[in-house]
Amino acid sequence: MNKIPTNLQNMDFRFVLINKNSKRPFEENWQETGNHKFNDKKLLDHLENGGNYGLVGGFGNLIIIDCDKKAIEERIEAILPKTFKVRTGRGGAHYYYTCKDFKAPIRLTETVAGDVGDVQWKGKQVVGPGSIHENGNEYKVETNTELKEITPEQIKLAIAPWLSAEKEKEDEIIQQDNSLQLIELIDLTKLKRHKDEYYGNHPLHGSDSGMNFWVNPSKNCWHCFRHDSGGGPLAWIAIKEGIIDCAQSITGALRGENYKKTVDLAIKKYGMKEVIIKFDAQPIKKDNIAKFEEWEFENLLPENHFITKYMEKGQSLSDAYPEYFFMGALNALSMAANRRIRIELSPKAHYTNIWAICVGKSTVSRKSTSIDMNRDILTTAGYGRSIPADDSTPEAFIDGLKQNARQNMLKDEFGLFLAKARLKYQTGIDSLLSTLYGCPDYYERDLRKEKIKVENVYLTLLGAMVPEQLSRHASIDDILSGFFPRILFVCPERSKKRKNLRHLTEVDEDLEVNLIVWIRKLFALTEALEEQDEYLHVIFTEEALNIYNKWCEDWEQRIVETEEGSEFSPFFGRQSICALKLAALVCFGSEKIKKLLDEFSNFSNVSNLSRLSKISKDNYYEFFERTNSTNITNKSFGGRGERFPALLIVGKGELDLALTYFDKMFLPYAKKVLYEVESQQTDKELDRIYRIAVKHSKRGCIEHSDLLRKANIKSKEFSECVKTLQESGRFHISIDGNNKTIYTPLKEIEN
């Protein structure tokens, strides 16, 4: 039968039930209420049946020092009073004390051996004497005496050499290079020696116990157990010179101005040698990134073009940036193309789906106004197709495309979509969209209950977001993965004149009706193509192709020769194809196509939309004979010898116009987005390295090799970051006595 020793039979202590040959309590909430007094019948019956038991720390101020190393036992018995002691089943020792003002359990560690013990307190327990270890050995009382009461100061003094690395970080502060030694600053003859350390009265504020101050010359550090503070030579100088109090000598005390004052005194008065590191690396300069000269938008299209009329309608009612209405018109044309306009150039064919995002300040930029106009026109025309919600999983998104894989994604809050795309359940949604952007003929995805297949995918996108969302939710991975480069961004910030509210007029209504009729006609055209299982094949004249190829060559050379680098390359690679799409859509929305549609179909230009109908089969081939300006044979498309009836010819004029928009608007805005993301990424990387330095510093400093290893980035990028941190006043960089580079964090960063 197991029995609780008399010296542990304290009514304030609490005991837990443990199975024989085990160490774990099996009752719920044993840390608080699921425990027992020593005379509880349930506990006594459990012991009668041969069960183990444990004592919970904290109750009755009980504290147990659990030692797994002989050196810890020797120090405890040399410093602390003799108390109740148990030899554990594994050969370690449990010292039982009471302590009134203890705060939390402490882990004891060594650099090589790792964990070597614990100070058990509230929420922790140890197996009681008389219990049986899982190896069959008994927990035996070795010193059967009353429990002694000690102070937190005495405990920390006894276990000081084994405080964990995290505790060291909390208890000690900056130690500058080894050219300055504590033995030159503190008179050790007035202290007593204990092995490699010295202890006694604190030289500056004295001691009640005569042993609250300890110095370790080999580690070049000191500790005050009255204030639970400590540090190295700089910390001692700071206290001695009145820059900080002893109680303040914890991590973070010597930063900013306090650090600079202390270093200055250490050099001038105490002979500290300091070597400042000079890096070949240049700091990261954001002003190089931030410069951006915005193009004053200019409509380069003819007066009677669909995009021009669309912008005229929008700008007559709202002071939204004209770029937003340009993108809205482009989205409407892209939607009307309906996967029937096909650009067949090597190495692969492309469709004219456009993804566009309008970036601007909330409210004043009027982003939502432009998106609402697009939604109203397409819905009234009968083509307001919806898309799954922002928070849908990739599987739900695909499931939503089963019935119709041709959809327009209108995202008033694209920033919210980006934020949700980072959530675990939406992992892969951006990758899925990147795949679907290519308009695959066939896409298949396995779900839990079924295999979903979608055919002839065609997705367009028109969205809006504020700049802050771009900074907060976008990452460099969005660019390198190709997701962002598929999107045409417009990010105007220039000042604009506010437009006052007014009543709608008949002119406004006529403009809207004409746009609705026009878009209905374009949809009717592409629906007729689909009925004939045909495409409107985009043909670039030889002159246009030469211009385009030269334009690509010039841009690619510029990217190689400048520091625009690998991050901008994905943007240009994707958006150079978008330039071809824009040129095709410019032709598609031209007045020429509209007039032919008026002539070859029984459309009406009045507001009675019910009179609109499709192109008749009889007029289908004649219509495309009229649209073709050249007699191109099928040899251009594989040599089957038959003429394609549906050709859309893009010449120099349309291509020049498209390339101008990319040179002046889309590609500069792409750079702006890239730089914004890079800038935010840089801030995050700087903060990350700074936090690592603070977290893993010992005595307030961290060696170059340790920080580089924990930062886990390339050496060149690391050098640029620490140089930037140095110039911003957040890092001090020096060389210690062993010729090692040392980093000292100086300023706290905002959370």
CA 348 to chain centre: 35
CATH of the domain at 188: 3.90.580.10
CA dihedral over 704, 707, 713, 717, signed as positive or negative: negative
Q: Is residue 455 within a helix (H) or strand (E), and if so which, with residue range?
A: strand 451-455
- Between 46-60, 483-497, 552-566, the lowest mean confidence (pLDDT) is in 552-566
**Could you tell me how far CA 226 lies from the centroid of its own chain?**
42
* Separation in Å, CA 48 to CA 30, 42, 638: 20, 10, 93
Q: Quick check: 138 and 90 in contact, CB under 8 A?
A: no
Q: Is the dihedral of CA 202, 203, 208, 211 positive or negative?
A: positive
Last residue of a domain, one of 616, 648, 676: 676
Residue 475 resides in a domain? yes
Residue 556 is part of a domain; what is its CATH number? 3.40.50
Confidence at residue 29, expressed as pLDDT on a 0 to 100 scale: 84
Q: Is residue 527 part of a domain?
A: yes
Residue 623, pLDDT above cutoff 60: no
750, part of any domain = no
Q: Is residue 689 part of a domain?
A: no
Cβ pair 94, 57 in contact under 8 A: no
Could you tell me if 416 and 562 lie in one domain?
yes
Domain range for residue 201? 165-268
**Same domain? 444 vs 579:** yes
Q: What is the CATH number of the domain that holds 112?
A: 3.30.2250
pLDDT over 70 for what percent of the chain?
84
Residues 180 and 149 in one domain: no
| Per-residue tokens: 720 | 């640029």
Residues 371, 226, single domain; the answer is no
> What are the tokens at 621?
């081939």
Query: pLDDT at position 425, please?
Result: 64
Specify whether 88 is located in the same domain as 12.
yes
Q: Does some domain include residue 330? A: yes
> Quick one: 328 and 401 in the same domain?
yes
Q: Is residue 292 part of a domain?
A: no
Highest mean predicted confidence (pLDDT) among 10-14, 450-454, 504-508, 697-701:
10-14
Helices 506-531/306-317 angle, 10° precision: 150
Q: Is there a single domain that holds both residue 457 and residue 568?
A: yes
pTM of structure: 0.58
Query: Are 148 and 218 found together in one domain?
Result: no
Q: Looking at the structure, do residues 560 and 419 belong to the same domain, yes or no?
A: yes
Confidence of residue 278 (pLDDT cuts 50, 70, 90): very low
Distance CA 592, CA 81 (A): 102
Residues 508 and 612 in one domain: yes
How many domains does the chain divide into?
3
Burial state string for 40-55 with b = 16 or more CB within 10 A and e = fewer than 16: eeebbebbeeebbbbb
Do 334 and 387 fall into the same domain? Answer: yes
Instruction: For residues 387 and 479, state if they share a domain.
Output: yes
Residue that finishes a domain, picked among 244, 268, 292: 268
Residue 283, in any domain of the structure: no
In a domain, 497, yes or no: yes
Question: What is the C-alpha to C-alpha distance for residues 113 and 69, in angstroms, rounded to an integer?
Answer: 10
What percentage of the chain's residues is helix, strand, coil (to nearest 5)?
45, 20, 40
Give me the mean pLDDT over the 371-392 stretch: 80
